Structure 1
Amino acid sequence: MKYKKEILETLYEAGNDGLSVHKIAIHVHNQRNTLFSPIDFDNVRIDVQRWLLANSRHSTAPVEHCEKRGLYRLNPKSNETQKLMLQFGENNDKNEDTYKDNQKNNTQILLFDF
């Protein structure tokens, strides 16, 4: 799936409360849409919805349904999700350290993680 990384990052940032399919699709669309290669939001929403349905069916799937209908969150029981949480956590620590260093030097640098 071409949006897997963006979906998992968005759900990681959302925390245990989870997000609706529509909000996840908005985040994915905003991360992927560019001036020179625009993508249709409806196609992104359909792809996100299909991926979430396919990857939330089993107890060891990376995503699970929340208590409310239509909300999804990361599954803490999944081995894949636990690995991703460690990776995302390490990236956040590095970005925070860089931000603190830049504050000390009174400079601003835009960080782009591709």
Structure 2
Amino acid sequence: MALVVRAGQASEPDLREALVVVGDIRDVGETTNRQIPYRLLLTKIYPLRTRVTDFAYRELERHGLPLFRTALVERSAYREMFLNGSPPTVSEPEKGAGVEIKALVAEIRAIVESDSNELRKAG
């Protein structure tokens, strides 16, 4: 089972583009007569909630778009991994970005396993 992950920031242009991509995913699903699972991943989120972030969450909910519970906060560890070659799960496994990545991976696995189990039951 596959899962489409659409990453974007909590900004109006990213939200508009996410709606376009979700429309495309739904169109392909209708054309192929199968449901394509997807989730939106918010990235570069400020550590403290802002009006912009609150707006983004409200808009995503209003459009009924599935969202990961995990969001990736704006952290230096994500930029540093391109310099030091170490992902956050290695450079800071028990804090910040390392914890976020582990949570996101666990969430993705749970979604994929759940969808796979539903397919087995239906088949």
Q: TM-score, normalised by structure 2?
A: 0.32
Q: TM-score, normalised by structure 1?
A: 0.34
